[in-house]
Amino acid sequence: MRETMREAPGVGLAAPQIGLSIQLAVIEDQAEYLAHHSAEELAETQRSPTPFHVIINPTLSFVEDSTAEFFEGCLSVEGYQAVVKRALNVRVECLNERGEEITINAHGWYARILQHEIDHLNGTLYVDRMNTRTLTTGENMYRFWSKASIEQVLAQVGDTNQSSESI
């Protein structure tokens, strides 16, 4: 799974994405993926490198009510992105690759990755949570929205309609 995720390239991959009906995901946000983002973008998204790790049978809980909206994409819906509201702080209780119980307290982009991958394990895709008016190709997202704030994007599309799914 690690090689498949890296070849894509992606920052996470859940077993159901490759046809396995198990509660396992791999996660890694490599420093090289962050290189094309400005310091301001990294600060706004609270994104930093995350070392490779495995989560098995995860249980997700929200630490507080704070949320953030950002464009999100997925290897299962390749070529598209949309604005998705996610919790900023989460706790994940799971097993690691050695079967040891671990607790992960994550914030910012890392929390977003965990929520995204755990959604896969529960049969949910980001398109089930997206602001429907923001769905766009990756090419158009970069062409039209890469320099805009999320607030500007949402004001421009004129409708902040969220899916009926909650965070």
Q: pLDDT of 54-92, one tens digit each?
A: 999 999 999 989 999 999 999 999 999 999 999 999 999
Question: What does the CA dihedral 92, 162, 124, 13 come to, rounded to 10 degrees?
Answer: -60
7 catalytic residue (yes or no): no
Domain boundaries, the chain: 2-157
Q: Which class would CATH give 2-157? A: alpha beta
Catalytic residue among 28, 69, 72, 117: 117
pLDDT digits (tens, 9 = 90+) for 124-134: 999 999 999 99
